[in-house]
Structures are given as C-alpha cells and as structure tokens.
Amino acid sequence: MQFNEIIEKGKQVKATIAVCKSNDESVIKSVVKAIKETNVNFILFDEEPQDELIRSFNLSATEFKRIHIVQTRDEQHTVSECVNSVTTGEADLIMKGIISTSTLLKEILNDKYQLKTSNRMSHVALFNVPEYHKMLAISDVAMNIAPNTEEKIEITSNLIDTLHILGIEKPNIAVLSAIENVNPKMQSSVDAHAVVSHFKNMSTDVMIEGPIAFDAAINKQASIIKNIDSNISGNVDGLIVPQIESGNILYKSLVYLSHADVASIIIGAKIPIILTSRSDNSRDKFHSICSALMLI
C-alpha cells in the first residue's frame, strides 16, 4: 500500500469535520485544500473571528458555503462545542487546531460525550518516506508516554486494525528495541518479546517480529550483515516504538531530515481524531484529513 493511494481514496469520502480552535493560517490552508479537493464539509470552532482569514483564500461562493463558522466565548467553550458536535451528529470527525493535545483529549474522554470505547486510544502516524518503498506506519509517538507490556499489546492491536482497514491484509509489524535479543536490563526488549509472543499465539492476520532494531527492521542488508533471521526485514508496514520519546524523535527525524510526508491520527475512540502537531505544515494536515476519512 502506498501513501498516495490512501490520500486519493480518502478524497472520495463524504463527511463533516469539526475543527477545534481553527483560527490559524496553516489549519485554514489545509481546510481550504480539502474543500477544493475532497467531498468534506467543515465546522470551524474558535473564540477569535475567522471570516477575514478564510475569505483571504478566495473561495468561491459555493465552496464557502461548505464551511460553517462557530464563534465561541472562550477556549473551554470552543472545545466543548466542538466535541459535542460529534455527539449530536452535526460532525463525523474532530480535527485538532491550535490547541494542546491534552486539552482536546481530556474533553473527548469526558463520559458525557460517550466517545470512549473499551479500546485504548493511541496515535498512529502514516509516512511517505522518499527512501522507503511503501507507506510506513509508526505507533505510538504522541499519546501513550511509557506504555507497559499490556498497553503495548493494545497499541499494536490498534495499529494492526488500522492497517487492515487501509487495505493491508497481513501487515508486517516490527516491535522495536535497540537489540534483537531479550536482555532483562533493557525493558524494551523484554516488552517486545512479550508483544510478539501474544500475537503469534493469537493471530494469523499479521507477521510480527521483535525485539528488532530500527536498522534491521527497515533495511534487509542490515539484517543480513548482523546475521538476523527475519521474514519482514526491509519490508515492514508498521513499527511499534518503545516509548513516546523515541517515537517522537523518529517522527521528527523522518519529517525534518528525510522530508517525509506524514498523516497523524488518534484511534481507539468511536471516531478517529485528526491530531497533528501544531508545527506540522498545511500539507501534512491535509494528509491527516484524508487518512482519517478512510477510517470512519
């Protein structure tokens, strides 16, 4: 599966997206691009006036009608009204604007909205890396800080389910550590072994290996040189990182050094949540919109 295939398929999905705290040029650029290239409508929530910024992009009258602007009283009102729009059926998805992740997710997890499920919520980043031959998914780089073994199993299950929905019938998953053997002094290797054992005993719809280092996972020649017997080396679809720090560093390394395109989504709630970094450019925010549309 290629990253661009996901984007093109997402463009065909009809939906309404509620954007939380949308009064930002990069956010509005991604909204305008989506209006012009997809079937999506938007509800924009912000306490600051947005009309002038939106009109500066020269939308046609027909295009402008696909944007509903809601001016709120303050940030808390912005967040609550945005999340509530999904509960009432006005919107199908929530997109993070210029607001902290913790503030938005805290509201989404409020019991009154009934958006929680029995699943753990986790973050999935989808990458188009110029040096890699297909889409690469990484989890969790933005939500679960230091997951234990059971939590990593849930994160891995979320990633597998996401890749299945995106059309990858039997994804290759690498559970990362710094080594390929279990070392009790390196908890990530212990966790990786436990995660892999769980899925090998429970599932036939995934090929999963770990512990495995990033180089051996992503490059077949590296695994040959290191004499690692791997069925997925050089052909992984997804990576499970040890904890948020390593995942965040990997994410930003791919974006800023490899110039990768990226889409970022929170899964595990009743709806996917478009959750990009505030520093992501408008192109990557647009990619996140299209990718999330594939998951509703």
> How is 194-213 classified by DSSP, letter by letter?
HHHHHHHHH-SS-EEEEEE-
pLDDT in tens, 220-246: 999 999 999 999 999 999 999 999 999
Give the pLDDT score at 113.
96
Contact 36, 28 (CB under 8 A): no
Contact 24, 282 (CB under 8 A): no
pLDDT in tens, 141-167: 999 999 999 999 999 999 999 999 999
Nearest to 148 by CA among 115, 125, 120, 116: 120
What single letter denotes the amino acid at residue 172?
A: N
Angle ∠(149,153,159) on CA atoms, nearest 5: 140
Inform me whether the pLDDT recorded for 107 exceeds 80.
yes
The answer on 131 and 28 residing in a single domain is: no
Q: Are strands 122-128 and 136-139 parallel, antiparallel or unpaired?
A: antiparallel
Give the pLDDT score at 58.
85
261 belongs to a structural domain: no
The answer on 161 and 89 residing in a single domain is: no
pLDDT in tens, 4-38: 999 999 999 999 999 999 999 999 999 999 999 99
The answer on 8 and 100 residing in a single domain is: yes
- Find all residues with CB under 8 Å of 259, minimum gap 6, and list them: 130
The answer on 94 and 65 residing in a single domain is: yes
The answer on 252 and 129 residing in a single domain is: yes
State mean pLDDT over 116-125: 95
Inform me whether the pLDDT recorded for 265 exceeds 90.
yes
The answer on 167 and 43 residing in a single domain is: no
Distance between CA 254 and CA 260 in Å, rounded?
A: 6
| Element holding 251 (H helix, E strand) | helix 244-256
The answer to whether the predicted template modeling score (pTM) of the entire model surpasses 0.75 is: yes
Residue written as tokens 């290996």? 209
266 belongs to a structural domain: no
**Domain range enclosing 288:** 3-116+272-293
How high does pLDDT run on average in the chain? 95
Distance between CA 119 and CA 7 in Å, rounded?
A: 26
The answer on 252 and 128 residing in a single domain is: yes
CATH number, residue 131: 3.40.718.10
225 belongs to a structural domain: yes
φ/ψ region of 167 (left if φ > 0, alpha if ψ in -120 to 50, else beta) reads left
The answer on 157 and 100 residing in a single domain is: no
Distance between CA 160 and CA 174 in Å, rounded?
A: 11
How many domains in the chain?
Answer: 2
Range list of H helices, 166-202: 187-202
Tokens representing residue 81 in the block: 């009204």
Give the pLDDT score at 277.
78
The answer on 101 and 75 residing in a single domain is: yes
* β-strand partners of 239: 138, 174
Give the pLDDT score at 263.
96
Inform me whether the pLDDT recorded for 279 exceeds 80.
no
State mean pLDDT over 163-189: 97
